Amino acid sequence: MSYIGDIINGSKTLLTGMSITGNYFFKNLFTRKDVITQLYPDNMNELKMFDRFKGEVIMFHDENNQHKCDACTNCEIICPNGSIEIVWERVADPETGKNKKVLLNHIYHLEMCTMCGLCIEVCPADAIGWGQDFHHVTRDRADLTKVLNKPGSSIMPGVKEKK
């Protein structure tokens, strides 16, 4: 194709793109109908991400600060890049006298997580899921290592702890 032809084609493409943008801009200038642009960070307090958004892995807790993690370590084992460490101990059950596994810390390295979701899929208790927070910028890498079970939390009654 000739040099002139390239210029004509390029101009046509440019005008097509500009006409779509212009049409969208003027059509919605006053009504703001169908406008989906987010005024971030001005809207930080109201901003709600889509339900399917994967911001980070979190552990669910109820109003009594109880979770469903029985320290089975499935998530730790399946994570392809070692982003999860389950720290647990065995304690004697006061009722039965038998030892059982108790979660101490569910450690999550957000800085290594690729958001593949395998840990969430493999969790038999649905103890973990996606959180929508995406404000993870920090100057200290250590800030991205999180303990997912909240301080003072315990396992919900009825969730079978591993022996």
Binding positions for ligand SF4, rule: CB under 6 A:
57, 69-75, 78-79, 81, 83-84, 86, 113-119, 122-123, 125, 127-128
What's at 57, amino acid-wise? V
Q: Could you tell me the two tokens for 138?
A: 């920090």
State the minimum distance, in angstroms, from the CB of residue 137 to ligand SF4.
19
Q: Using the minimum distance from each CB to ligand SF4, give the nearer residue, 28 or 144.
A: 144
State the minimum distance, in angstroms, from the CB of residue 93 to ligand SF4.
18
Of 125, 134, 131, 124, the closest CA to residue 148 belongs to 131
State the minimum distance, in angstroms, from the CB of residue 89 to ligand SF4.
14
Q: Using the minimum distance from each CB to ligand SF4, give the nearer residue, 57 or 153.
A: 57
Q: Return the exposure string of 20-53: e unless at least 16 CB atoms fall within 10 Å of the residue's CB, then b.
A: eeeeeeeeeeeeeeeeeeeeeeeeeeeeeeeeee
Q: Using the minimum distance from each CB to ligand SF4, give the nearer residue, 6 or 143.
A: 143
